[in-house]
Amino acid sequence: MSVFTRLGLYQRFVSVDGESGVRLEDLVLGATAEQSVPLTPLGWNRTLGLSHWFRIYLPTSFASQQQNLYLATEWSTRARVRLVGALFAGIRGTLHYRFHEYAEQSGPEGGTLPRLVAELRPFAEYTPLDSEKWGTITVGADLVGDETIDYPSRDPADIAASELPPGTLAGPRGSIGGAGSSDSFVTPHYGYDLYAAYTPPIPYLSFVISLEQSGNVVRYGEPRLYFIHRDQTELVLQAVATF
């Protein structure tokens, strides 16, 4: 098992006038562990590789501070097995819980914030090149499906006048009127990643290019799945250096 901490910094090339576009990501404190489970008792001469991650996210990013996030926790486990040659397949499961100060986002259009996310991600990977001289190339694909459970919103009729900001008009019974709901909303999402990773014969350096899609399953009251969507599909290039 190993422990780590991570703090990301990124540059936005679209920003409000007067802003630099440079922003922090959330500070991450985490631990990882790996184990191998032989599958020989099942009659298959293979080894199942298990990887576990536990992370705590602290709200240093702009988005988390806007949402009044206290902290978030995440547990993830990946199971991976070699099928044949350099072809691997597996599945990854993740549970993510978020602790917010408020159940809803600010503003008249603000919706309820996510509280619990449960995700499953089956994947397949193939390594066509693994050379000490030229490096390693791995291509892969995965499908992503998750269920997001939002915080329950408070019915406005249950909010007492003493809890309202100064100047808010209260009803005759000392509460704000309206037909709210205390139900939690469950939102399904789906997506995929198509990626290629290159690790050159240089220690601690790697490059990844990927096509990523993620979005709600239900749109306008009915299921709609898109392979390419203007607002939800991204082409991502990553360069990672580890010291």
Find how far residue 125's CA is from the centre of its chain. 20
Contact call for residues 123 and 142 (beta carbons, < 8 A):
yes
Beta strands in 17-113 (DSSP E): 22-24, 27-38, 47-58, 69-84, 87-100
Q: Tell me whether residue 104 is exposed, middle or buried, using C-beta atoms within 10 angstroms of its C-beta: 0 to 12, 13 to 18, 19 or more.
A: middle
Q: Which domain holds residue 40?
A: 2-241
Chain position carrying tokens 């995440």: 74
Report d(CA 154, CA 215) in Å as an integer. Answer: 26
pLDDT tens-digit series, residues 158-201: 556 565 555 555 555 554 444 444 455 777 888 999 999 999 99
Which residues touch 70 (CB under 8 Å, ≥6 apart)?
59, 99, 100, 101
Tell me the torsion sign for CA atoms 51, 57, 62, 68.
Answer: positive
Report d(CA 104, CA 115) in Å as an integer. Answer: 11
Chain position carrying tokens 């139900």: 183
pLDDT computed for residue 109 by the predictor: 61
pTM summary value: 0.74
Contact call for residues 128 and 198 (beta carbons, < 8 A):
no
pLDDT tens-digit series, residues 108-162: 666 778 899 999 999 999 999 999 999 999 999 999 999 988 888 665 555 565 6
Domain count, the chain: 1
